[in-house]
Amino acid sequence: MSVAAQFLMQTGTFPVNDLVSMRLLGAGLMLLLWEAAVSRSPVVRLFLENWKPLLVYGCGMLVIQWTFFKSIEVSNAATAALMVTFGPLFVTGWTAFSENRAVTLKEWICIGLAAAGVVLIVTKGDFDAVDMSFEGAFWGIMSSAAGSFCTIQPRQVMKRVPVGVVVAVGMIVGGGLLTLIDPPAVTAIDWTLETTLLYGYVALFGTVGAFCCYLQSLKYVPAPTTSLLGNFEPLSALVLGILFLGLSFGPAELLGTALIFVMVGILATRK
């Protein structure tokens, strides 16, 4: 999704604000229609009974998306992806603070393995591929912090509201707020078959699918584990790139992949 977004902003005349608002609104409306028509969820009643946490989640989602795409715009997708690796550190730190305990050695090891693995996979061992500008790094870290907030904040409301409804309302709220602040210039965008398909891909798979799966996992594993497993994202991008784009797989990527799998193995072990 990061690469598709970078392409749309660079060659498809998608300004960052327009892409964020259109992505969130389009994805949120698709998911809300699915929940109402197929899953038969009482969407209106659920929203009225839980509107405060849903609105807060929507604002957080807007911050995640805008800052992430801003990082891509002022630097590149690699820089934004690397900064997101700060997420597990934020989530683990907050969880330890809220539980009045220190971060465990196991957690520190997993954070280090995940970060090192992502760095090797994204950069391929060539750090010149990363545009480590202060502005790009700043917006990437802000996106990581907002993502950490949205990992922890909706856990209580998801006990009362289906994950699909939480995500759909959050996206519509976030996209709606940005639309009010900066209405997207839909007619000025270069709508070719390629850009239309990429927009649909970003909205459906990179937004609806990603957020639903991510929040659903919170029902089964702790928040720090969920955030650490999110580091499979660059690994999956690498595998798909090898299968469909003819990308190479060098020693750096191999080592990075091994580190991520070691991290998952450690997470899978019980006390």
Residue pLDDT, tens place only, 231-269: 777 777 777 667 766 667 788 888 888 888 888 888 877
From the number of C-beta atoms within 10 Å of its C-beta (0-12, 13-18, 19+), residue 182 rates as middle
User: Does 193 have pLDDT greater than 80?
Assistant: yes
- Report yes or no: 164 and 41 within 8 Å, Cβ to Cβ: yes
User: Does 5 have pLDDT greater than 60?
Assistant: yes
List C-alpha distances in Å: 252 to 110, 238, 259. 19, 12, 11
Is pLDDT larger for residue 188 or for residue 22? 22
Is pLDDT larger for residue 96 or for residue 122? 96
Cα 216 to Cα 158: distance, rounded to the nearest angstrom? 9
From the number of C-beta atoms within 10 Å of its C-beta (0-12, 13-18, 19+), residue 20 rates as buried
- For residue 218, the model assigns a pLDDT of 80
Q: Give the domain ranges of the chain.
A: 16-268
Mean pLDDT computed over 200-210: 86
Instruction: Give pLDDT tens digits for 24-71.
Output: 898 899 888 888 888 788 988 999 999 999 999 999 988 988 898 888
User: Does 172 have pLDDT greater than 90?
Assistant: yes
Instruction: Give pLDDT tens digits for 109-165.
Output: 988 888 888 888 777 777 776 666 788 889 988 998 998 898 888 888 988 988 889
User: Does 200 have pLDDT greater than 60?
Assistant: yes
Is pLDDT larger for residue 130 or for residue 75? 75
Cα 251 to Cα 177: distance, rounded to the nearest angstrom? 45
The CA R_g of the chain, rounded to the nearest whole Å, is: 19
What is this structure's pTM?
0.76
Cα 233 to Cα 78: distance, rounded to the nearest angstrom? 12
- Report yes or no: 202 and 5 within 8 Å, Cβ to Cβ: yes
- CA neighbor of 58 nearest in space, from 93, 105, 20, 96: 20
User: Does 271 have pLDDT greater than 60?
Assistant: no
